[in-house]
Structure 1
Amino acid sequence: MPSHLSRLIAFTLLAASLTRILPAQESAQPATEAQTDSPASPPKPEDPPATLFPHSDKSRFLIVGQTNIIFQAHGPFHTPYSGPNSLLGRGEYKTSLLGTLYLGAQVIRNPRASTDFLIDVESSGGRGISEALGLGGFTNLDVVRNPSLGSKPYIARVQLHEVIGVGGELTEAERTPFSLSTSVPTRRFDLRFGKMSLPDVIDLNSIGTDSHLQFMNWTVDNNGAWDYAADTRGYTYAGVAEYDDKIWSARYALGLMPTVANGIDVDWNVRRARGENTEFEFRRTPFSAFLPKERKGAVRLLGFVNHANMGVYRDSIKAFEAGLTKVPDITAHAPGSTVKYGVGLNFEQEITENTRIYGRFGWNEGQHQSFAYTEVDQTFAFGADYFMRRYGRPLDKAGITFVSNAIKRDHQNYLRLGGLGFLLGDNGLNYAREDILEGYYNLHAWRGVFYALDGQFVEHPGYNQDRGPVLVESVRMHVDF
């Protein structure tokens, strides 16, 4: 373990040293981070656009794009045994590539009742370490969990976005690929229908949501216990209804579940399979009473109920003990609809002009099969980021976070007896929580070009204290067009 810690310390010192080595540059708040619609740390008006090409906020149309390239590697680590779904114990390195072209048109431009048509085309190539297996909190959110799909471009999102005002008061809004209006009613209904990723609109957090300019881990950028409706690429067909008021918002989303765990096809029978999600957001936190009014924050409470063809861990263990299967097999059950539910909480708070903190908690009942996102039944995370404005680099940013993931007893026993989930399976399990410490430094190089160094120290990978720890080191290049 000391060698891993020394490498992590060396990485941190190298990242910090970049602020002194490189000259100060003009920069701006990244457009990608603004997509989170968060109340914290808006762009500074004196900062120029952080894109390669300028974009007009007055045009009826939007054409923007981005490219994200992540190189990840880890050295050999302790592993007395492994299985088909293990993080590889030998050293390895992989590169992922993600490109997205966002297109949008304002069909109706009236700020009190606007309509957007949105579409984006995406290509996801490369690989994740160990083919994205062996971790509940995997280290690269850009990786598609089924590498056999290849890098052929596909339509990631296509939707109608409708804003309906309630009352005459208007407020300024940031134009993003998900919402084109720059002025919206303060009190409004916000409706979306089509293909989307549910984390586009639910469980947002301006410190821990964007894997292109912030943290990279699955369970940092999203709530790991929220098994949200999605295919293997992370998208679904859904409808979202939202009401926004001055200091609070309420959202409901209904999305299609995959036909099988981590599957590319979704089940169109809504009576049989669906994901129902409710979120309430209050744009104040317990810290607000002790901070100046300009220090923004928010608290969001999430609840979800999934209906799908999910197996039950305890039933698969009983079938194995009865000799019906060679090992517990969560997929060996009669087709039918079962129910999985859970809750989540996240908060963010601006402490100073440059410092923000955030936290997340998630829990699901853990008896039913992990089906759509990852194999986590409970999670909590806490972290912070810091802008380098006082050093003359307003878009450079450093972040650090700690996340701890867990699975329930039946899920543990299933893996201990040799069962396989869609991400985990070491042919055994000596259970412990999976603890992850992640830190990054994001460097603004020129216009829309950013580079980042990132380190993730994982204790008990795949909840197995017989394996690890492992340090995963990353270099990222991000370009906004």
Structure 2
Amino acid sequence: MAVLLGPPALAADPAPPSAQGPAFIDWSGPYLGIEGSGGASFGQHTFHGTMIGGRAVPDFKTGDATGRNDRSRNATTAVGGLFGGYNWQTGPWLYGIEADVYGANLKRPVASTAPGLGYEGLDPEFSVLRAKTDLYGTLRGRVGVAFDRALVYATFGLAGADVRILATYPDLAGGGVASTRHDLSYLGFTLGAGVQLALTEQLALGIDYRYLDLGGGGRFGLGALPGAAGGPVSTRDASFTSHQMMARLSWHPAGLTPPPETEGTSSPDDRFSLHGQTTFITQGVPGFRAPYTGPASLIGRQVQSTTTATMMLGLKLFEGTELYYNPEFSQGFGLSRTLGVAGFVNGEAQKAGAPYPKLRSNRYFLKQTFGLGGETEDVPDGPNQVATRRAIERVTVVAGKFAIGDYFDANSYAHDPRVDFMNWGLWASGAYDFPANLPGFTQGVMVEYNRPEFALRAAYTQVPKEPSNDVLDPRVFERAGGVVEFEERHVLPVLDQPGKLRLGLFSNVGNTADFRQVVGLTQAGLFADINDAAAATRRPRRKTGFYVNLEQAVSADLGVFARVSANDGRNESLSFTDIDRSVSGGVSLKGTAWERPADTVGIGTSMNGISPSHRAFFANGGVGLLIGDGRLRYAPERALEAYYALSLNKILTVSFNYQLVVNPAYNKDRGPANFLGTRIHADF
């Protein structure tokens, strides 16, 4: 607690230029630490050619019963253990060696009862084969480069694990349950990468990803299977792979030499910009009232994690012309695979959605600024911003791939789920169905005219080919999204504090279904499933709406915000979420009063609703982008969110988050649901 709540140990006064050391940490020397994750690691056990009673167990997907079949299942696990190593560093370049030992709780049924073995009619969750992995060990080399207080590195080396293979089956002849066991040891390889950040002169916090391929073993037996099938149980090979993401706390007894604290190290003449961020979110939900469950319902009693890591590269090609590129890794899932709540509780969840780190080029765009004369301003180096000098009155054109939220519906107090509010109904205007692929990005053009007292901006972008589709529709002259926003800037005379009011109008044309039409077709008996009716009747349709977005500083530390948004509610949403109208607001307070000026406390609330035809769609079994309980007893979805963002230093922030959602998915029959979360965010 002294480390977390006390003044950052590295925040020393700048040394004079002659005494300043290198602008990065020296990580040389030994280190020890602990590591672990809850629900952010994934593994897959695969059985090749499983035989029971002399017959091949049919493949789940293909029905292959030739003995060549593969039977595999993914599993999520919690892992944790100890690590240690030694670093050598020359300038910013580091190389070292590291070993770790950690336990896991990776277990998953692999082959369930199969047709033809005499077990038809049994519980489908009953398992013939089960694999359990308890203990891992790795020996890895690593190479990296130091930036400021951060170290980015890659790893490679050997990995081993102990695995128990169990065959468990009902004894249909003698009654009861019979089982047998086979122990295996694996030795394979591991590759990975990570980032760590110095907290104090001896402690560092990091996030580490590794991929393990432990190969396979030869044929082995699992004893004799009694009952209807009879005969031995065997498999030709059992292989195992795993993706693991862990948070790590390390102790460096030799000490970490900090870089000097300097301000304004970038100059307007800098041509390059290099920044990065990583965000690790873990959320859990206990049980709640749920008399029934549909295909897209929130499930209680679970914990899930998401991780994103982004590199932000910028290059000034010419005066006023800049090029940007953002590769991003993402991994993990939101609770219930990001389903069950219209105003979802993790704003990073849509960027993840994979059991292994997925690399995407989320942004690549060209920005051209045309100065219109008059007063100028210096813009410091920052994420996706090369240090430059520009005219205050200007026209800016952006072309390429970007997020609509980069330029529209911004708010100083509620706009970035990596650092402030995470609920979808709070960090954005919930009823604005902004065009985007699954991670939240689109391609198009944005134009902005800026003056000191206001800004006017507009964008024309691609939309997904279908609702919740990752492929953007290339027919931009037939199906596209348009938005216009007016931003007014003011200073309230009474408070002498700045504020902004944004008004946005949007209109999207995408391949969607009409709610009234699909409800009518289903009730007339032309479709047994309303979702089949929606899929069969999708065609280019327009969705229009608006949002109003206010932010106002009350003092230097206290700010308030509010949003109101609505759309026509006639057709399916394409990208964002199942909301037709939304109201939200809250407060954000810096911690100056308790001598933590870099900390932030936020409290916000939102209420979301849907149109009558949208309600009828869900009441008849419809499944939307995020919700669908199979039936519906309608009530507005209401949410409360509170967070405390604890700034450990200028790079690292740890947040504690609580959310309460009443009537999740607009259903009086479910909830209320409580959500607890933690968030680790680092940027450099």
Task: Give the TM-score taking structure 1 as reference length.
Answer: 0.87
In the aligned structure 2, how far is the partner of 1:50 from the partner of 1:74? 34
SS at 1:353 equivalent: coil
Q: Which has the higher helix share?
A: 1
Instruction: Measure how far apart 1:20 and its partner are.
Output: 12
| CA positional deviation for 1:238 | 1.2
Instruction: Choose the corresponding residue for 1:99, options 309, 325, 336.
Output: 309
* Superposition pairs of residues 427-446 of structure 1, within 5 angstroms: 427-446=630-649
The answer to whether the aligner puts 1:57 opposite 2:266 as a matched pair is yes
Partner in structure 1 of residue 389 of structure 2:
183
Alignment partner, residue 484 of structure 2: 278
Q: Tell me the distance in 1 between the aligned counterparts of 2:383 and 2:652.
A: 19
In 2, distance between residues paired with 1:396 and 1:199? 24
Equivalent in the alignment of 1:5:
none
Please give the alpha-carbon distance, in whole angstroms, between the structure 2 residues aligned to 1:437 and 1:50: 35
User: What amino acid sits opposite 1:143 in the alignment?
Assistant: A
Mapped to 2, the partners of 1:265 and 1:447 lie a distance apart of: 37
Superposition pairs for residues 196-207 of structure 1, below 5 Å? Answer: 196-207=402-413
SS in 2 for 1:457: strand
Q: How does 1:102-181 map to 2 (within 5 A)?
A: 102-109=312-319, 114-144=320-350, 147-148=353-354, 150-181=356-387
Gaps of 5+ in 2: 13-147, 151-196, 198-258
Q: Does 1:463 align with 2:675?
A: no
8 Å contact kept, 2:327–2:362: yes
1:409 to 605, 612, 632: 612
1:289 is the counterpart of 2:528: no
1:219 and 1:403 in contact (8 A); partners too: yes
Q: How far apart are the structure 2 equivalents of 1:413 and 1:359?
A: 29
Q: Distance in 2 between matches of 1:138 and 1:261?
A: 17
Corresponding letter in the other structure for 2:513: G
> Within 5 Å, which residues of 2 pair with 1:70-469?
70-88=281-299, 90-109=300-319, 114-144=320-350, 147-148=353-354, 150-284=356-490, 288-292=492-496, 295-329=497-531, 331-469=534-672
SS at match of 1:331: helix
State the distance in 2 between where 1:424 and 1:74 align. 17
Deviation at 1:414, TM superposition (A): 0.6
Quick check: which one's strand share is greater? 2
1:27, 1:50 within 8 Å by CA — same for their partners in 2?
no
Cα 1:454–1:366, aligned 2, differ >3 Å: closer, same or farther? same
- Cα deviation, residue 273, structure 1: 0.7
Q: Please state how far the C-alpha of 1:145 moved relative to its aligned partner.
A: 6.9
Matched residue of 1:369: which SS? coil
Paired residue type of 2:271: R
Contact persistence 1:50–1:447 (CA under 8 A): no
Q: What runs of 5+ residues in structure 1 fail to find an aligned partner? A: 1-17, 29-48
Helix, strand or coil for the counterpart of 1:337?
strand
Structure 1 residue 144: Cα displacement:
2.4
Q: CA deviation at 1:446?
A: 2.8
Shift of 1:56: 4.1
Cα deviation per residue 1:149-204 (whole Å; 9 max; x = unaligned)? Answer: 85221100000011111113102334332332442211000110000111001100
**Other structure's SS at 1:414 match:** helix
**Structure 1, 382-391 or 428-437: larger mean CA deviation:** 382-391
Q: Distance in 2 between matches of 1:50 and 1:188?
A: 36
1: CA distance, partners of 2:387 / 2:7: 33
Cα shift at 1:146: 7.5
- How far did 1:272 drift? 1.6
| Structure 2 counterpart of 1:476, one-letter code | R
Deviation, structure 1 residue 310: 1.1
Aligned counterparts of 1:334 and 1:21: Cα–Cα separation in 2: 56
Tell me the residue number matched to 2:678: 475
Q: Which moves more between the two structures, 51-60 or 127-136?
A: 51-60
Instruction: Kindly indicate whether residue 6 of structure 2 is the aligned counterpart of residue 23 of structure 1.
Output: yes
8 Å contact 1:124–1:144 — kept in the other structure? no
Preserved CA contact (<8 Å) 2:463 2:510? yes
Deviations 1:432-469 (A, max 9, x none): 11100000000011331110000000000001011000
Greater RCO (Cα-Cα under 8 Å, separation 6 or more):
1
CA distance in 1, matches of 2:625, 2:355: 16
Provide closer, same or farther for how the CA distance between residues 377 and 27 of structure 1 changes in structure 2, counting only shifts above 3 A: farther
**1:272 & 1:195 partners in 2: Cα distance?**
19
Give the Cα separation in 1 of the matches to 2:432 and 2:594. Answer: 38
Kindly, what percent of the aligned residue pairs are identical?
Answer: 30
Structure 2 letter corresponding to 1:67: T
SS for the counterpart of 1:432 is coil
Contact 1:316 1:332 in 2 (8 A): no
Q: In the alignment, residue 246 of structure 1 is paired with which amino acid?
A: P
- Residues 127 and 149 of structure 1: CA distance in aligned 2, closer, same or farther (over 3 Å): closer
Structure-2 separation of matches of 1:164 and 1:418: 52
Distance in structure 1 (CA, Å) of the matches to 2:652 and 2:683? 7
Deviation at 1:335, TM superposition (A): 4.8
Q: Is the 8 A contact 2:273 2:381 kept in 1?
A: no
Counterpart Cα distance in 2 of 1:76 and 1:376: 25
What is the CA distance between 1:325 and its match in structure 2? 1.1
Judged with a 3 Å threshold, the aligned counterparts in structure 2 of structure 1 residues 63 and 439 are, in CA distance, closer, same or farther, namely same
Task: Give the equivalent residue in structure 2 for 1:36.
Answer: none
Distance 2:569 2:538 in 1: 19
Q: Which amino acid aligns with 2:443?
A: Y
- Contact kept in structure 2, 1:436 and 1:459, CA below 8 Å: yes
Q: Tell me the secondary structure at the aligned position of residue 593 of structure 2.
A: helix
Q: Is the 8 A contact 1:193 1:238 kept in 2?
A: yes
CA distance in 1, matches of 2:352, 2:519: 26
Q: How far has the Cα of 1:220 moved from its partner?
A: 1.0
Change (3 A) 1:401 1:50: farther
- Amino acid across the alignment from 1:289: P
- Compute the TM-score of the two structures, normalised by the length of structure 2: 0.61
CA contact (8 A) 2:311 2:328 kept: yes
Rounded Cα–Cα distance in structure 2 between residues aligned with 1:62 and 1:344:
33
Given residue 94 of structure 1, which amino acid in structure 2 is its aligned partner? Q
Contact 1:24 1:392 in 2 (8 A): no
